[in-house]
Amino acid sequence: MDFHGQSAFITGASVGIGRAVALLLAQRGAQVSLCDINYEKLELVKKEIEEYTKDVLIFKCDVSDEECVNDCIKKTEEAFGKVDILVNNAALWRFWSPFVETPTDEWKKLLDVNIMGTVYPTKAVLPGMLERKYGRIINVASIAGVIGNANMVHYSATKGAVISMTQALAKEVSANGITVNSVAPGSVSNSSDEDIDAWQPSELSFVGRTGTDRENADLICFLASKEAAYISGENIRIDGCRKRM
């Protein structure tokens, strides 16, 4: 897979899967533009990427702020000429509580970041992709959006929405050279671990361990590649054969 001549916009790229995607795409030649609410960590990722390319932009941006997202995409298009690949990865997920105890404000926060934070970047890049008749959009969903996680009803609902949005949008744009897919990770190693190959034993998968950031990034990079032109409207589980359905 070669990404020379292509540019990618990745949300939530300061740690975990987003950082791993940014590193792999840059290593394979892409110009990368990264946004996150955590600018300090994003600066560290930029330094790592600069070992491969100087074509790296970083933005402090909350994906639930449409104006800020539009500004980042505009600046990326000005610098790189276009956005070929969009990876909607930013999300809030570390919230656990029984449904009856979950505050409404928390629901609204997750709806805003996980759903609208996927909608805004997509709306911002699509006109250019439609004009050029080329694009790759990859949404990072979750196994929770497929099977539902107890005590994470709101999170599960947002990821289910991301999966159905993926399927519906793919039907609108696939005839224009634009593919839209989602990936649904199961348990992934702790995203604060800098080693993108790190994993921990896990009883949640028949494989017996968590997935790594690199394994998730490899799948996302394949879906972002020219080689994946005939895959669109899919949600691909990457969960080591999940137990406890």
Ligand X SMILES: NC(=O)c1ccc[n+]([C@@H]2O[C@H](COP(=O)([O-])OP(=O)(O)OC[C@H]3O[C@@H](n4cnc5c(N)ncnc54)[C@H](O)[C@@H]3O)[C@@H](O)[C@H]2O)c1
Residues recognised as catalytic:
155
Of 17 and 221, CB closest to ligand X: 17
Say which DSSP state 210 is in.
P
Closest separation in Å from C-beta 35 to ligand X: 6
Dig out the tokens for 144 from the structure: 């929770």
User: Which whole-number Å values give the CA distances from 220 to 22, 153, 216, 234, in the listed order?
Assistant: 10, 25, 6, 12
Alpha carbons 136 and 7: distance in angstroms, whole number: 11
**CA 189 – CA 223 distance, rounded (Å):** 21
Residue from 142, 156, 182, 212 touching ligand X (CB under 6 A): that is: 142
**Mask 21-60, x = binds ligand X (CB under 6 A)?**
---------------xxx----------------------
Rounded distance between C-alpha atoms, residue 223 and residue 244, angstroms:
28
Site track 148-187 with ligand X (rule: CB under 6 A), x = hit: -------------------------------------x-x
Q: Is 151 left (phi over 0), alpha (psi -120 to 50) or beta?
A: left
Site string for ligand X, 200-239 (x = CB under 6 A): ----------------------------------------
Q: Which residues bind ligand X (CB under 6 A)?
A: 11-12, 14-18, 36-38, 62-64, 89-93, 113, 117, 140, 142, 185, 187-188, 191
